[in-house]
Structure 1
């Protein structure tokens, strides 16, 4: 009975000791509740400001986009039109006529009336650096905005809106804050010039003021280098609290909105911070109270716990009537004992895991063992210790991703078990020793060794094992494998090198093909690889395909044969094939193929490149896609109309490429259409200018003659349509990079 009384006393002592902590925790929860409400209000405010910010972006940039669109449409005006065209100024020289100046001023004023935010417009003619505005005509060196124009010329024309800048049309004029947009124009006569439009920042600021009352809120717009777009925004940022920030895709400007400090909402936020501090103080005080009372109440049990720590198990068990609060301690001790026994059992079971871990660490080089230490580990795991010569092989399952789509994980576990057992039987058959482990789900690594110092015997035996294994797997399993053999070694520390060579050999199946054995000696040498020549060959292939030349298939096969000859690594092949895709669709884009066909086939090609395992696979897949594209191009071209005429033009050029008189006028007469239409039709259908196509075909023919015929450079120039040797040398050097004579000497040696 005394035991029960003591237990109850301890129970009530604990109950009332923690009551103050309970009240403190309730207070803490109240603080958290109010803080959650405040956070919710802040989130709603952020959503509102984000919406307002997006509206301000549209409000500010809509007039800028309209002005930009107007500048683009100016270029599209026909020079042959009867109406006045301001771009005619670029074809003139010196000061324009009074009437032309009047018409330009009238045109400028019309644009300023149409777009009220425009402050000024002026044109800069590049031929003689003459400036024409609504108020003046002067040379560039006398124009007040000369520095801005020269900066544009140096930057090769930036087609983006500038930051806010100060503009004065005359030195005596009042300064005006503006943002500017410049565009370069080319006339039909080949002359060029700039149109520059300045927009008042005050008008943009007025649009912002209409959208938001900036008494308690603010909107700040910054351009490049965080420069304010409005002059009034240069006040100190410490007086503001940003809530929403948006970066425009069109101008690149940053729109920031939020609250001015000192407003009622920011004061509420400050007060919410005080709540957080109070809540943290209450929480800390409660935690300290818990620690204090727990230590005080724990003292009577400390002696008993110290005794329990010294024993491993209880000598007996109390009945149900005798149980009390200390039962928890007893059950905890029992649980610890059970866990210890379970841990011991699992430790015995994990010897296999330790065996695999040591093997993989040695092979990867993350763990270094001496030969004696390695022999100890081998004996511990049941292997014959001691070796004179050893090598590492890697067995990799081919097309593993396809296999996973057809079989369950349980089936794959069974396949791996079968392969490892078949492997060990072959090792014993050929009097070898081996320790093997699965490195991952599709690759098994084997350490094969002999106790005689005979490297040739070891390699010959490994080749017999791999050949027998390949035959057995082909006959009995629904997949194939590739074997990679690493170099031989007599040291444990060099096993990582042998393993690395074996893995490299397996990876070379993309060049040599799968379902075979690849030794390290097959991957160590190859023809020197020059990236420039491969890129040039890809460009030549794409050009032949785009031009529907019949020999593009031969060039395609030659490209992949060179991949094999050079023994390229996977990353090099992937990079070259990605360039191949980019160049292919860059050239067929804008032809008679529509965007849907282009994007679909581009995506298919990229998937093929990402997933291919051998060169044969990717070569066949890409060839199939290109043949489909060729069929679509030919089918579209055969439907008649403009495409049919363009194809006939190209065929005519191919047949008469060496004719010196071949020109736009010649084609115009041959096909009875205007020369201007000939050029645009050829460009539209084949995405290349007529003259560029003609030059390319003549240079390709010249390169062939230089290498195959014993003709002089001058004779070859005449044979490809250049009667003037100087013209032939100049064109050939511009395309190839070197004169024709140097090209012949470089290629023939």
Structure 2
């Protein structure tokens, strides 16, 4: 390989070298020829005074910010109040301290002292006054009604023992004032940062800034007390002295006579530097030459494989290769983290769902692979559900939903960690998360411990988030394989929020206060209620109330609510299908879908009862308007009322009623069926035999007398009709149902 890259490197660096050297020479001789002693002294004095003013301005800014924080910051003021505070409250106060600290120049520390509980809260942690390393200074300043302004340098540390305390100057402000003091805020600035700030104003080659306190003691450790020279500035704000030990201007006067000699020396140095630069570049180029040779050989081979000549740009090739390598490394790190989180979530979800079983040894090995603790005496399980999840998904964006779910995970974990308990979890459904808690013998009894954690978590959620959660506590497990039963028990318990209400904690003890429910025993009651609704009988509301009262006394889940609403919708479809086509169309186009969605918007039976009643009242109003608009509805109602009053008349027939209302019997039959959804003869039979069954069971009257009371002159006809309807003669029906009583 030719030396083209060598020469390119050499020619690339040489102009830079000449530019730098020429700039240094120009600046050097310009300063030598133009500087004078008086101007030098005036300039340095101005610099010292400017440094003093800048330092005082920064210190005053810190003091104003501290006073402003005490007056205006509610979180900092809250620290001195007597209100009980949680860990999160201290976190908010500490965060406000850090935010206040970020507004300060210099490297510093800040802490708050509260006299009532003798507690110190610093930006780095919380301390009891007895174990606080800066207690002597704090008590001295606090007992003397606070210090006026900034202190002189002193030793400072936060924790004991600290064998290497740092020197700081401090500012103490009492809260709210010296006469009503409840505590104090202390700001300490490291002297090294002040000195470093001052030295940033001068070049190292021309000296350094010296700083003395009000007693003329040096800020730097190890220096003896000195009297400041003539060239100094004294701060009326802090009482400190500022001066520099710069080179005297007369020395530049002497050097100005040697300018020609310096030119020759500089030229010699440039020649020597060029020679040394060339030699060093040649020596250091050897490894690059080997790399470029390998790159050239690789690109040549690739060019031959693809049949075209590739341009030889070794640096571009190396840059591309390094970028590719770094990208692969970052991708690998991200994939490893994602894979670890995915394996952890998959393991916990399969264990809780019962899709995986693990022995104790396998459990320990799996948790060790995930760098998680495995020890426990018992396992507790809690199933948490976000209440009204459908409204939750409508209210928040997808990203906000993930954030809130993460907050739920973190809050429960932190509450458990406050009790030194390890927790792991898995999302079993989009709205349900299951936590497993590692418990030890000291955590007894089990139920009380788990309920306390759940109640604290529920209280925290109610206080900080605009949502509620319901919790189900499962029975304790003694081993990992048994945790699946505890998980199912917890999921069953949280499902009973349908009867216990949302934003509740449900365990097995609360579950025992309700009887076991039957999803199908309400079928007949729903059928009776919907029939009354179809007939425009006001008793449907009372029947619906009794149904919900019965359901509230039993353990009902969301699934049972869905089955109940499916039954109600099905029965209403059947009953309204007997009415006019207009009413059927109204039901199918609007109300059927409305009733099907009621259960999705209801978390509890109380909510479902309220919404179902409102929907049925709205439908009842629609039916009433439809019926009023139909001219024959009033006639059908009059016929029905007439039948209700004269059902015991043996001569009651379709022809008799048709003559009474001036209609053809076929017309009356069709009108009755269309408006009331039931045939004339079926309604009459049902009404008569309904009264007959009641009299058979509740009275001792002879069957002949009962037959006459319901419109039958001949007991044989009554006997035959009764048996046809109920598959039993009247006497056996009475015997059977009286024995049941």
Q: What interval of TM-score do these two structures reach, taking the shorter chain for normalisation?
A: 0.5 to 0.7
Residue 458 (structure 1) aligned with residue 446 (structure 2): yes
Mapped partners of 1:471, 1:707: distance in 2? 56
- TM-score, with structure 1 as normaliser: 0.52
CA contact (8 A) 1:637 1:647 kept: no
Residues 1:610 and 1:480: Cα distance change in structure 2 (over 3 Å): closer
Give the equivalent residue in structure 2 for 1:263: none
When Rg is computed on C-alpha atoms for both structures, the one with the higher figure is 2
1:60-459 equivalences under 5 Å are 316-318=291-293, 324-327=299-302, 341-342=329-330, 344-350=332-338, 351-378=340-367, 381=370, 384-429=373-418, 432-452=421-441, 457-459=445-447
Conservation of the 8 A alpha-carbon contact between 1:612 and 1:618: yes
Greater Cα shift, 344-353 or 471-480: 344-353
Structure 2 counterpart of 1:700, from 690, 697, 704: 690
Question: Who is 1:470 aligned against?
Answer: 458
* Separation in structure 1 between the aligned mates of residue 483 and residue 611 of structure 2, nearest angstrom: 38
TM-fit CA distance, 1:573? 4.3
Instruction: Please report how far the alpha carbon of residue 504 of structure 1 lies from its aligned counterpart in structure 2 after TM superposition.
Output: 2.4
TM-score by length of 2: 0.52
1:544 CA drift (Å):
1.0
Which residue of structure 2 lines up, in the alignment, with residue 9 of structure 1? none
Query: Structure 1 residues 361 and 684 mapped into 2: Cα distance closer, same or farther (>3 Å)?
Result: closer
Structure 2 runs not aligned, ≥5 long: 2-288, 306-316
| Counterpart Cα distance in 2 of 1:317 and 1:572 | 76
Question: 2:483 aligned with 1:495, yes or no?
Answer: yes
Q: Distance in 2 between matches of 1:648 and 1:625?
A: 28
Of residues 643, 667, 671, the one that matches 1:681 is 671
2:633 equivalent to 1:643:
yes
Q: Are the counterparts in 2 of residues 383 and 435 from structure 1 also a CA contact under 8 Å? A: no
Which whole-Å CA distance do the structure 2 matches of 1:397 and 1:419 have between them?
10
Alignment CA distance shift 1:572-1:425 (3 Å): closer
Q: Distance in 2 between matches of 1:357 and 1:349?
A: 14
- 2:670 and 2:459 map into 1 onto residues whose CA distance is 62
| Secondary structure at 1:324 match in 2 | helix
Sort the Cα spacing of 1:319 and 1:683 in 2 relative to 1 into closer, same or farther, 3 A: same
CA offsets 1:587-623 (integer angstroms, 9 cap, x no match): 2235344444121111222233456443333333332
CA contact (8 A) 2:517 2:556 kept: no
Query: Do 1:388 and 1:450's aligned partners in 2 also have CA atoms closer than 8 Å?
Result: yes
- Alpha-carbon deviations, 1:34-75, whole Å to 9, x = none? xxxxxxxxxxxxxxxxxxxxxxxxxxxxxxxxxxxxxxxxxx
The separation in 2 between residues aligned to 1:540 and 1:447, in whole angstroms, is 46
Which of 527, 550, 556 pairs up with 2:544? 556
Look up the match of 2:132: none
CA-based RMSD of the aligned residues comes to 3.7
Alignment partners' CA distance in 1, 2:601 and 2:649 = 48
2-side partners of 1:355 and 1:319: how far apart? 45
Q: Secondary structure at the match of 2:711?
A: coil
> Which secondary structure state, in structure 1, belongs to the residue aligned with residue 503 of structure 2?
coil
Change (3 A) 1:338 1:649: same
Alignment correspondent of 2:503: 515
2:494 is aligned, of 506, 524, 539, to 506
Asked whether the equivalents of residues 697 and 737 of structure 2 are also in contact (C-alpha less than 8 Å), the reply is no
Q: Which residue of the partner structure matches residue 643 of structure 2?
A: 653
| Structure 1 SS opposite 2:445 | helix
* Uncovered stretches (5+) of structure 1, i.e. residues with no partner: 2-313
Q: Number of paired residues?
A: 436
